Each structure stands twice: as C-alpha cells, then as structure tokens.
Amino acid sequence: MEIFGVPSALFGSQLLIGLINGSFYAILSLGLAIIFGLLNIINFAHGAQYMMGAFVAWIALTRFGINYWAALLLSPLLIGLLGVVLERTMLRKLYKLDHLYGLLLTFGLALIFEGLFRDQYGISGQSYDVPELLQGGINLGFMFLPIYRAWVVVAALTVCFGTWFMIEKTKLGAYLRAGTENPQIVQALGINVPLLITFTYGYGVALAAFAGVLAAPIYQVSPMMGSNLIIVVFAVVVIGGMGSIMGSIVTGLGLGLIEGLTRVFYPEASAVVVFVIMVIVLLVRPAGLFGRTA
C-alpha cells in the first residue's frame, strides 16, 4: 500500500519519528514560553542550558559513576540552580528595560558557556550510551522503534503536561500568572513576587537541562548541540504564540510531524519548512496560533 507514492510503512515510521522530534521541540519551547510569558525575557541561553544539561549527565557518568536516572534529576537541579543565580545577579536588573537587553545578555551568556565547554572538551563531542534498561527496540511491523525513543516521548509529554497543569490549574500557577499581570497588587496581598519570578526562571532553565539529559544518548554530547536547535525552537515559540503554554506544546509536536513528512517528500527543504510556516503564520496571525493579541 502506498500513500502519495510513499510506502505506507515508511509513512508511518516517519510520522512516529516526527512525533519523537516534536516532543523535543515541545519541551524546549515550553521552557522558553514560560520564561517569556512570566518574565518577558527572551532567553537566548536556552540552547546552551540544554547543552549543559547533557554535559552534566555525561560528566556525572564518566567522573562520578552517577547513572542516567539520577542524572535525569540531578542535572536539571544543578542547571536550574545556575539559572537562579543568573536571574538574581543579572537578569533582575533588566526587567524594566526593553526586551532587547535581555536577549543580548542571554545571547552573550550562551556564547560564553559554549566557548568554555568547547575549550574544555573540544568540538567533536562525547558519546553517552543508552541506559541499560532502555536498550534495544520493538519491532512494530512497519518500523523498528528503539525503546529509548519511546521513553523520550513519554517523559517529555509527561513533563510538558505536568507543567501546563501546574501553571494553569494550581494555586501556585495562579499566583504566577497574577504576579506577571500586576506585580504590585499581588505583592500587596503578601506574596513574594520576586521569589516567584526567580523560581520560574530556574524552572524554565531546568526544563532545558532535562531535555539535554533526554538528548544525551541520542546525539553526541557536544558544545554546539544547543545552538543548532535553538533557532528552530524559537520559530516554534513564535508560531505557537509568544508566551502561550499550551500553544508551545501543541506547536512543538505539530511542527515535528510536519518536518518529519517533509523529510520523506522533499528532504532538502526539511530544514526550512519550519521557517516557511513561521512566515505564513506571522503574516496571517501576527500573535501566533495560540497567542492573544496584546
């Protein structure tokens, strides 16, 4: 059987792979969307933080023998903590200024982080093995699905929807949203708004590090792994609507699928298809698919 001239088995497997890549986009763009939505900072260091998440996992394993599962917790904690320090010492001073300043600061930080890791570990990257429990794969008939990739989808989606739930449906989330809407009044009600904001940035950064650990067994752990991905992720956030939580999750998955299909029908265009969609969306709905116009 064929679908548009492509064997259906290949078609099915490409959809599945699109979903896997989409879940990476989703979790990364979610972190960016939270940070932008609540702090109004365009976090250009997101890719570098994702890279550092992967490196922490690799260093933990090779230096200290800490396994993948522990790294999955440890790495986001450490890098999240680094985020907290950055927010307290630097970003905090920029909230009243134009977006551009936050962008430039985080961009500079990204270059510094990448440079430091490149200097220390070289450019070719390091190999991180798939954890034993998740090695091997399942034969689905139309494709061989590595168990690790299936785990990535499950883990990423769980974290994404957990985050969405926390922000949209819990009291903490309500404080957060209120705090960004009108910080003075929320502060007057006895809630520590600056602390909330620090926590939010730390959490967004921790999401990037979590994605980094998920990615470590799939890609080479290399200093530039984040900079290759970050531009696409920004496009995802713009398409979804800057700051929209659900928008970034759904768009991330959707674009992963579209990219996957492009790789079958016209592989040469698979790197630009996301940006073509971004241009179209900006022309038709400048606030993004799920964004509310200010």
Binding site for other proteins (CB under 8 A): 7, 9-10, 13-14, 17-18, 20-21, 115, 118, 122-127, 129-130, 137, 143-144, 146, 148-149, 217-220, 222, 224-225, 228-229, 260, 263-264, 267-268, 270-272
**Nearest approach, Cβ of residue 145 and other proteins (Å):** 9
Cα 255 versus chain centre, distance: 14
- Cβ–Cβ < 8 Å for 157, 23: yes
What's the CA gap between 44 and 86, in Å, rounded? 13
CB-nearer residue toward other proteins: 89 or 268: 268
Cα separation values, 93 from 90, 110, 206, Å: 6, 18, 21
**Nearest approach, Cβ of residue 26 and other proteins (Å):** 15
Reading the block at residue 62, the tokens are 């090779």
**Nearest approach, Cβ of residue 17 and other proteins (Å):** 5
CB-nearer residue toward other proteins: 119 or 171: 119
Contacts of 76 (CB under 8 A, 6+ apart): 53, 206, 207, 209, 210, 213
Q: What angle is formed at CA 263 by the lines to CA 10 and CA 275, rounded to 5 degrees? A: 150
**Nearest approach, Cβ of residue 200 and other proteins (Å):** 28
**Nearest approach, Cβ of residue 234 and other proteins (Å):** 16
Q: Is the dihedral of CA 127, 133, 136, 137 positive or negative?
A: negative
User: Residue written as tokens 């396994």?
Assistant: 67
CB-nearer residue toward other proteins: 27 or 34: 27
CB-nearer residue toward other proteins: 9 or 103: 9
CB-nearer residue toward other proteins: 13 or 163: 13
